[in-house]
Amino acid sequence: MESLRKPMFTILQHWRPHRGVRPRYCSKLANTSVTSKETKTNVDAFKSQLSCGPSFQDFIKGASVKKSFAADEDLYDNHSYLSEDLEMGNSRKVYFETYGCQMNVNDTEIAWSILQRKGFLRTVELNEADVVLLVTCSIREKAEQTIWNRLKQLTAMKKRRKKSLAPMKIGILGCMAERLKTELLEREKLVDVLAGPDAYRDLPRLLRVADGGQQASNVLLSLEETYADIMPGVKEVTLLGQNVNSYRDASEDQLCSSGATRLSEGFQTVYRKKEGGLRFSDLLDRVSRIDPDMRVRFTSPHPKDFPDEIHLPAQSGSSKVLKAMRRGVLWETEEDHLQTLSLIREVGYNVGFLFAYSMRKRRLQECITVFREEATRVNAALVGSTQLILVEGESKRSANDLSGRTDGNTKVIFPKEEVAVQSAESNRAPVSAGDYVLVEILSANSQSLRGRALSHSSLRDTVKNYDEHVASNTP
């Protein structure tokens, strides 16, 4: 009937990473005619490259990278026919539009980091842009059609641009640039720049070529490109999956018990039980050890694959409904509904996703009302406390406020002002997106908290101070 969740905490340490490579998935690839023997040879060679490729740690700011996978600066950044000055952005403004999955959001930040180094500025106002870059997805035909329509709109806007200004440049980045190079450059002639997912380093050169009145393209793919040395600082990682905690890495089965998976009490499965390998709890532990200043979250889990002591989402308060529904739509009696209300009150969720899975709108409204009452109570208990906040940016409602989230993923709004660099220092510094700050909570409602920033901080220091506090108060 509804999905509700409580926050989960992780412990941060260091570990030796398992090696892997950053995958790219682009749909509708061209068909090739090869024999089964050639396919096997190619697959074996590809697996060999993957086995010694870069790890997740290589994507984290400040992480060391093996020399063999270090970025080849000469490949894109040094061009004998273009001086360094000609590749500089000269304060031109870049506007990004991002389509598709979270990977494309990540790619946007990589592309921006590269252009920022060359002196470009970023704008959130389309009418101010000198360069418009669309970060694209080719997984679904509808997504591609959306971008085709957008390109026509931007081309019309480009033609209306004032003659006193330099011509606006339009670029396509990502999977669609790779897949539809010919159509984009030759048939439709709607874009000035194309850059595939492994060619973002080449963007400054491509834009300079486009400034000369030519179309510029680089859609080459690479197994070695990790963007490790220019990756924006990662402060939070979310592990995604339909049932994300059903994860199993059988490549390291020697490290775990060879016994069959034990489901949480009360659950059963129609699928063959998995044996050996690293489970999701092992993955969480290893990811959490990569960077002491990186938060780790995950979504969406299924309670069948978690130990019973961990509290996770519930879709109903009725045992009968939970047993029968298997995450599907099912009727419920009034007693089942009352048990759900009881569960919401008993647990005190601070996050809830409530939808009308039945025609009984009264039941949905009652769930929403009870949830808000309990969420208000849970959030009000934080008033007067000091919370570590990861800043996400400006508040959507006011440019004078900043917004961020607590460890428990509760939104916090606080005034945009300079704060102490450290809690005991008089030096002050502005607060930006990606910063950790300590915020005193002053008020609360069911949706968010409001407070006042006290000082800059870090996840590492907060965990250390908490451990010291616990140790000093333990008999």
What pLDDT, on a 0 to 100 scale, did the predictor assign at position 56?
55
Distance in angstroms (rounded) separating the CA atoms of residues 459 and 411: 17
Q: Which fold has domain 386-472?
A: OB fold (Dihydrolipoamide Acetyltransferase, E2P) (2.40.50)
Strand partners, 314: 4
**Which tokens go with 280?**
């999701």
- The residue behind tokens 């506007």 is 95
What CATH number belongs to 18-233? Answer: 3.40.50.12160
CA angle 291, 293, 299 (to 5 degrees): 80
Distance in angstroms (rounded) separating the CA atoms of residues 111 and 158: 22
CA-to-CA separations, 346 to 301, 317, 343, 449, in angstroms, rounded: 21, 10, 5, 22
Phi/psi for 45 (5° steps) reads -65, -40
Neighbours of 456 (CB within 10 A): 23
**Which tokens go with 152?**
């026509």
**Which tokens go with 18?**
């398992």
What pLDDT, on a 0 to 100 scale, did the predictor assign at position 32?
37
Who's near 79: CB < 8 A, 6+ residues apart? Answer: 87, 205
Q: Before 300, cis peptide (omega within 30)?
A: yes
Indicate the SS3 state at residue 428: strand
**Residue boundaries of the structural domains of the chain:** 18-233, 235-313, 322-381, 386-472
Indicate the SS3 state at residue 259: coil
What pLDDT, on a 0 to 100 scale, did the predictor assign at position 439?
97
What pLDDT, on a 0 to 100 scale, did the predictor assign at position 217?
94
Asked whether 5 and 351 are in contact (CB, 8 A), the reply is yes
What pLDDT, on a 0 to 100 scale, did the predictor assign at position 29?
38
Distance in angstroms (rounded) separating the CA atoms of residues 239 and 282: 13
Written as tens digits, the pLDDT of the chain (475 aa) is 444 444 333 323 333 333 333 344 444 433 334 455 555 555 566 555 555 555 555 555 444 333 332 333 344 444 545 545 555 778 899 999 998 877 788 889 899 999 999 999 999 899 999 999 999 876 667 778 889 999 999 999 999 998 888 899 999 998 888 888 888 888 778 899 999 989 999 999 999 999 999 999 999 887 777 776 776 667 888 888 878 888 888 775 555 555 666 777 767 777 777 777 788 888 888 998 888 889 999 887 877 777 655 556 677 888 888 777 665 645 778 898 999 999 999 988 888 888 776 667 888 999 999 999 999 999 999 999 999 999 999 998 999 999 999 999 999 999 999 999 976 667 899 999 899 999 999 999 999 999 999 999 999 888 888 777 777 777 7
Of residues 456, 469, 368, the one with CA closest to residue 404: 456
What pLDDT, on a 0 to 100 scale, did the predictor assign at position 54?
56
**Which tokens go with 379?**
């959030």
Distance in angstroms (rounded) separating the CA atoms of residues 330 and 286: 38
**Which tokens go with 132?**
């418009």
**Which tokens go with 189?**
């002639």
pTM of the predicted structure, to 2 decimals: 0.61
